A = this chain, B = another copy of it.
C-alpha cells in the first residue's frame, strides 16, 4: 500500500490475475504435489515472497485457482443459457459452454478437478460448485415449467438436476481423456442421453417399471 506507483506498476488485482494464470498453468502441467512455488513465481515474473504475500501458501493458491476457474466456468454456462430461449436450447447452450470450457482446458480440468476431487481441503470447494450447478439447473427447469403453467414436484426437479449434473461431470471427465472428441458433439450426445428422458419425466411421463 505504501509503495510508490513507479515501483508497483500494475494494480494489485491485475498482478493477482497474472499470478493465478501462472499458477493454473504450473498446477495443470505438473500436478499439485510436484508444482513448486518457485516455478509459479518464475512464470509469473515475480519473486517468491511476493507470491506468498499476495496469495498465501501453495494450498491457498490452489484453492484460489479452483475458485477462479470454477467461477469462470459457472459464469460461462449461466451466460450461455439465455433465459428467453426454449428450455432444451438453454440446456444445450449451457452444456455446450460447459463442454467447450472443459475441451479448451483439458489439461487443467484433468489436474485441477481430479486433484481437487482427491484431496480433502479442495473437495469442499468442488462440492460447493456442484451444489451451485444443481441449483442453476433446477432453477432453469422450474422457470421453464412455470412459464408453461405446469407444476412438477420439487423432488422430481431436484432428481433431474442431480442426474443431469452428475452425468455432465462424468462426461466432462471422459472428454478430458479424449483429445480427439469434439466438445460440441459431446453436448449434443449429452442432450440425447439425458434431455429426451428428462423432458418426459418433467412432462409427467415416467418409465414404467415392470409389473412383478
A123 within 8 A of B: yes
Q: Which residues of B contact A128 (CB under 8 A)?
A: none
Number of interface residues of A (CB under 8 A): 47
Q: Is the CB of B162 within 8 A of A174?
A: yes
Q: Is the CB of A188 within 8 A of B209?
A: yes
- CB nearest to A116 among chain B residues: B118
Q: Is the CB of A162 within 8 A of B170?
A: yes
Q: Which residues of B contact A165 (CB under 8 A)?
A: 170
Given A196-B196, A209-B92, residue A171 in contact with residue B181 (CB < 8 A): no
Which of A117, A163, A164 has the most chain B CB atoms inside 10 A of its CB?
A: A163
Interface of A is mostly: helix
A6 within 8 A of B: no
A5 within 8 A of B: no
A21 within 8 A of B: no
Contact of A155 among B89, B181, B184 (CB under 8 A): B181
Binding site for B on A (CB under 8 A): 88-89, 92, 117-120, 123, 155-156, 158-160, 162-171, 173-174, 181, 184, 186-198, 200-201, 205-207, 209-210
Other A-B contacts than A184-B209, A192-B205, 14 sampled, CB-CB below 8 A, are A119-B119, A159-B186, A159-B193, A162-B173, A163-B190, A163-B194, A164-B167, A166-B170, A188-B209, A191-B209, A192-B197, A193-B198, A193-B201, A196-B197
